[in-house]
A and B are shown apart, each in its own frame.
Chain A
Amino acid sequence: EPEVTQTPSHQVTQMGQEVILRCVPISNHLYFYWYRQILGQKVEFLVSFYNNEISEKSEIFDDQFSVERPDGSNFTLKIRSTKLEDSAMYFCASVRQANTEAFFGQGTRLTVV
């Protein structure tokens, strides 16, 4: 069964460092998302991506964040200069078309020290 895959599963980084989180969405899906979940809290939307551009972003997704789909398969989230409060589980999701079921990756747990 096709699935969304994320790498790495865990990442520890020092404050101020750049990190890139990687996702391979399901191959025939057209919409891609990043969500994050701070420990013990609910899952929050960060950004959506369609047709090679950002279609929507939340207030959390400030200038420190960027997304890219560098080739036909990968979808990346970059945090330029990490802060302690960026520590969270980051989930990638993909949807085949608008208003259909979203499928989530297993998450990347980011710890900023």
Chain B
Amino acid sequence: GAVVSQHPSWVICKSGTSVKIECRSLDFQATTMFWYRQFPKKSLMLMATSNEGSKATYEQGVEKDKFLINHASLTLSTLTVTSAHPEDSSFYICSARWREGRPDTQYFGPGTRLTVL
């Protein structure tokens, strides 16, 4: 159990276009999902916390108008990179919080590699 999927697994797009990445919890409900970004040869950095039915909370330095997050249901959160540029090329990973029992545990998706040409 506790599987998190991401779609697509990789995407290549032209500069100026928008790209949507989906994160789904397949066998549990997640009121909270998280989006991370990994720069080349760096560790993962939290971008934002996505709460079902409310606005996402962004970390300092992350442009909320650039990275649109929507958590429309208890099993789906989406990250849209708007007007993508080459510097947005990165590896994006989501996680979903599973609150069955205590303590909480986050389960991570496989990641999406974005390349902006």
Do chains A and B stick together as partners?
no
B residues engaging A (CB < 8 A)? none
Chain A residues in the interface with B (C-beta under 8 A): none
